[in-house]
Amino acid sequence: MHLPSTTDLLLTAIRTAYKAGKAILEIYNTSWETTWKTDLSPLTTADLRSHEVITADLHLTGIPVLSEEGAEVTSGTRMNWKRYWLVDPLDGTKEFINRNGEFTVNIALMAGNQPVAGVIYIPVAGSLYFGSKDLGSFRIEESLTGEDILEDTFSDLLQKSTKLPAIMNSGPLIVLASRSHPSSETAGIIQKIEQRNKDCRLLSAGSSLKFCHLAEGSADFYPRFGPTMEWDTAAGQAIAENAGIKVLTWPEMQVMRYNKPSLLNPWFIAFNPDRIDPSDL
């Protein structure tokens, strides 16, 4: 039996993320219904529609799908998966509701307890980020995405792409903060960074856009001392790490692990090792 390569699967994920983003925009530009989950997080019609589009495509690969909006899968079942898709169909639902455009489609290909490839699509901006351990990470600009992306070969996509990091920041240290999920603990470490680096700027961003900023080189440090789930970070981690960014648990400073009994992430920091020395934190 022929097993698809990581590159083949990444191409599938790119096409799928684009289709899901298009479906989200169709709802975003009209009106939608919002309900609330048991944890009081919002759920919109767009979350569910994106989930439907993604799972329909990814199930065709024969690889299991773990989605934020899918049915719960027991840890005993998923821990037997050698490869699986980890999906957030609409990351940044609060940003979607607030209509600020800072929401994304996140698809990660997982092997064991690590993301080996990831795709992030930003529907409003039209930008797409992708990366894998074999290839590195890339960005496709708004002007180069569109219906052609559904027919492009992987070589076509690479020709349209910018290799990441695209920017070598030598100016102010750029520190990222969550737009919708601030915490006093995160604010504390940001204040510490600001005290040690007088030439420092704070940038607020929603969803997995923060990982995209790190990967492209337009930001240097992202501390997240608050709750996130595995589907929130996997695609972004794959893209950021394969652009040279480190993503480590805090304060243990260990590699982030996935497919744990609990899908809740530990606190973590993501940083450019050329700009941040974590021993100073």
The mean per-residue pLDDT over the stretch 262-278 comes to 94
Please state whether the peptide bond connecting residue 165 to the residue before it is cis, i.e. omega within 30 degrees of 0. yes
pLDDT value for 198: 66
Annotated binding site for substrate: 68, 90-93, 232
pLDDT at res. 180? 62
Three-state SS annotation for 212-281: HHHHHCCCCEEEECCCCEHHHHHHHHHHHHCCCCEEEECCCCCECCCCCCCCECCCEEEECCCCCCHHHC
pLDDT tens-digit readout, 15-48: 999 999 999 999 998 888 888 887 778 888 999 9
Distance CA 245, CA 224 (A): 15
Mean pLDDT of all residues in 269-277: 93
pLDDT over threshold 60, residue 1 = no
271/277 Cα distance (integer angstroms): 9
Domains of the chain in start order, with CATH, are 6-163 (3.30.540.10), 173-280 (3.40.190.80)
Binding-site residues sit at: 68, 88, 90-93, 232
Question: What local confidence, expressed as pLDDT, does residue 279 receive?
Answer: 81
Q: What pLDDT does residue 2 have? A: 60
CA angle 276, 278, 280 (to 5 degrees): 90
Say what the pLDDT of residue 143 is: 63
Q: Supply the pLDDT for residue 116.
A: 97
Mean pLDDT of the 217-226 span: 92
pLDDT band of 54, cuts 50, 70, 90: very high
pLDDT of 144: 65
Q: What is the pLDDT of residues 236-262, one digit of tens each?
A: 999 999 999 999 999 999 999 999 999
Mean pLDDT of the chain: 91
Residue-level pLDDT at 179? 67
| Residue 93 clears pLDDT 60, i.e. is over it | yes
CA 189 vs CA 22, 185, 192, 201, 246: distances in Å: 38, 7, 5, 14, 17
Residue 92 CA: distances (Å) to CA of 44, 53, 63, 163, 180: 11, 18, 25, 25, 8
pTM: 0.94
Shortest CA distance to 62 belongs to which of 79, 77, 45, 82?
82
Q: Enumerate the known binding-site residues for Mg(2+).
A: 68, 88, 90-91, 232
pLDDT 10s digits, 158-191: 999 999 999 888 888 898 987 666 677 777 777 7
What is the Cα–Cα distance from 158 to 136, expressed in whole angstroms?
11
pLDDT given for residue 170 in this prediction: 81
The pLDDT of residue 148 is 85
Per-residue pLDDT reduced to its tens digit, 107-150? 999 998 999 999 999 999 999 999 999 999 999 987 666 778 89
Query: Is the bond leading into 261 cis (omega within 30 degrees of zero)?
Result: no
Question: Percent of the chain, pLDDT > 70?
Answer: 95
Q: What is the per-residue pLDDT for 31? A: 81
Span 86-111, average pLDDT? 95
Give the 3-state secondary structure percentages of the chain, helix then strand then coil, rounded to 5.
35, 25, 40
DSSP assignment letter at 255:
B
Give the pLDDT score at 193: 77
**Cα separation, 257 vs 77, whole angstroms:** 17
pLDDT at residue number 188: 79
The Cα–Cα gap between 223 and 217 comes to 16
The two beta strands, 34-36 and 173-178, are unpaired
Which residues, listed in sequence order, are joined to residue 132 by a DSSP beta bridge?
117, 136
Element holding 45 (H helix, E strand): helix 45-58
